[in-house]
Structure 1
Amino acid sequence: MPVDRVPLTSTVRRLLAAGLALAALGVTACSQTDGGLQASPAPSGADCTVAKLPLKNPGRFTVATDEPAYEPWFSDDNPNNGKGFESAVTFAVAKELGFAAEQVDWVQLPFNSAIAPGEKSFDIDINQVTITPQRRQNVDLSAPYFATSQAVVTLEGGKLAGISSMAELRGGKLGAQADSTSLAAITDQVKPQVDPEVLDTNAAGIKALEDKRIDGLVVDLPTAYQMTSGQVDGGLLVGRLPAAGGKLEQFGMVLDQGSKLTPCINQTINKLQDNGTLAGLEGKWIDLPDVPELK
């Protein structure tokens, strides 16, 4: 089931819309320019069909994501049901390319394995992967399908409960998933007084928070909201971090580096953005409250 529908404030909606609008200008339908990769040639519409796509398994669309698959990105830990934002986006992309729902095969793959160098066993991976030049040294990352910021989760009555500034945040013991932009945000933006706890998964982060080994867990904003909507006992959303460089983070799908499939995925994502499909799915599955920014 989707998260409870909380009215999305005009401020947050403008931030998300601006992030995707800028992303559309910065990442064309058929290019990979960050990280030194050469631009891919623009495919013709006829090339972006099931019969002509360079697939791992002919006639099948193989999609990877992590397990457990959490809300609001997925629902009931079942990517194949089409519920949750990333599941719904995947099926929308598949449909646009000409796949029937039963031609989409989901496989489980840890986050770190998806972004590591080397040939992939999937056509695309979708798992809240932020687009960065560093990651594009190892894999292709598609045009963005979502934009967001980082946020901090703590426990009611904890050291970070009720804080409102980055200065106060620096005094806490923070944690984040290894190799994530959440961890980078801690080290590069927060600059805490004590070294952060590096965790294998967000599930391990929740455990560390509940065991009070850390004062705060840094994750993307929709995940933070979901965690404090019942996933974490006594969870409290402290606030969101300022956007690094004034730019929201953008999520992209992962593909083999230099994949011939990348241009068609980019073309499809941009079409779904232009025709309002992505905005509609975001409104259905990711409505957020007004979350204050830590100053």
Structure 2
Amino acid sequence: PATPAATAGPDCLKGKLPTRTPGKLTVATDDPAYEPWFVGNKPENGEGFEAAVAYAVAEKLGYARADVTWTRVKFDVAIAPGPKEFDFDINQFSITEERKSAVDFTGPYYLVRQAVIAKKSAKIAGSASLADLRDAKLGAQVGTTSYQAITDVIKPKAKPQVYNSNDDAKKALQNGQIDGLVVDLPTAFFITGAEITDATVVGQLPQVGTPEAFGLVLDRNSPLTPCVTGAVGQLTADGTIKKLEQKWLAQVAGASELK
């Protein structure tokens, strides 16, 4: 269906939008907020791809930076059913049909691939195919499409390990409790480049079915959904999101695909 916000009409501007706090836009993300999506765990500085996208959406809706209030909400809580404490949440939420029964999504602002990282010394570090990963002990954060990618795409013999946060998952990789960790590709490059420097990106996983994409999350049937969706659509159409992607996610090229 056509969204009334496709041209960000007058009803899609500050003053007309029924936000949680009149005249303010409350935006949520996780704590900690990871690079390259945010920088320094400070979403309010506008640095990092998702922080920049959030402020660009706010601006399209007529909100100045000073009108944006950040709040922290855990990943799995944000996509659970029930009323939300935010106007929208930006936190690498992949759009899935299952999640749409609990929350609203905007259209996509980033097409994403999942990737496997391992210690450089690990047996799976040189893997060229999915078959090479079948005997590995793999892990991912709870409730994520990264976890789903392990069970649906890699299909290892051992049950994957689940972690409450990527921090816990990274510790497990460092401590040798798992052979490989599955995260989205930009996160994989950041972890191996800046956090666990003796780890490597083994490869990216093939797309299965619908291409995976990140969208902003809103309350189910939120009156803001059409306007926020319209803003994301405009930022995609006018090239703003592409520019932000080139600025903050430029390093995400060149991981070989595991077939």
TM-score tier after normalising by the smaller chain length: over 0.9
What secondary structure sits across from 1:243 in the alignment?
A: coil
**TM-score, length basis structure 1:** 0.85
> Which of the residues 105, 109, 118 maps onto 2:82?
118
* Aligned match for 2:124, one of 132, 145, 160: 160
**1:51 deviation in Å?**
0.4
**Partner Cα separation in structure 1 for residue 153 and residue 201 of structure 2:** 18
Structure 1: state its 5+ residue gaps: 1-27, 31-39
- Are 1:270 and 2:233 an aligned pair? yes
CA–CA separation in structure 1 for the residues paired with 2:230 and 2:54: 14
Give the ranges of 4+ consecutive aligned residues of structure 1 lying more than 4 Å apart after TM superposition.
Answer: 40-44
Please say if 1:238 is aligned against 2:229. Answer: no
Work out whether 1:205 is the aligned partner of 2:169: yes
Matched, 1:62 2:19: no
Letter in 1 for 2:235: L
Q: Does 1:47 align with 2:31?
A: no
- Where does residue 253 of structure 1 map in the other structure? 216
* Aligned mate of 1:196, from 150, 156, 160: 160
Corresponding residue for residue 71 of structure 2: 107
Secondary structure of 2:83 counterpart? coil
The one-letter code of the counterpart of 1:48 is C
Alignment partner, residue 21 of structure 1: none
Aligned length: 258
Overall identity of the aligned pairs, in %: 48
Q: Indicate if the aligned counterparts of 1:210 and 1:233 stay in contact, CA closer than 8 A.
A: no
Q: Is the 8 A contact 1:43 1:264 kept in 2?
A: no
Runs of 5+ consecutive residues of structure 2 not aligned to the other structure = none
State which of 31, 34, 41 in structure 2 corresponds to 1:77. Answer: 41
* Residue in 2 that maps onto 1:285: 248
CA distance in 2 between counterparts of 1:66 and 1:207 reads: 18
- CA shift, 1:289, in A, is 3.0
Question: Please, which of 159, 173, 178 is the counterpart of residue 142 of structure 2?
Answer: 178
Q: Over aligned residues, Cα RMSD in angstroms?
A: 1.4
Note if contact 1:124-1:253 (Cα within 8 Å) is conserved in structure 2: yes
In structure 1, C-alpha distance between the alignment counterparts of 2:51 and 2:194, rounded to whole Å: 21
Alpha-carbon distance between aligned partners in 1 of 2:95 and 2:139, rounded to the nearest angstrom: 21
CA distance in 1, matches of 2:194, 2:99: 32
Task: Write the letter of the residue equivalent to 2:64.
Answer: A
Query: Are the aligned partners of 2:5 and 2:229 in contact in 1 as well (CA < 8 Å)?
Result: no
Letter in 2 for 1:188: D
Classify 1:165/1:95 alpha carbon distance in 2 versus 1 (closer, same or farther; 3 Å): same
Relative to the length of structure 2, the TM-score reads: 0.97
Query: Do the aligned partners of 2:34 and 2:41 also contact (CA within 8 Å) in 1?
Result: yes
* Paired letter, 2:234: K
How far is 1:231 from its partner?
1.1
* Alpha-carbon distance, 1:123 to partner: 0.1
Single out whichever of 247-256 and 269-278 deviates more from structure 2.
247-256
| Distance in 1 separating the partners of 2:20 and 2:2 | 22
* Partners of 2:61 and 2:108 in 1: CA distance: 17
- 2-side partners of 1:106 and 1:175: how far apart? 30
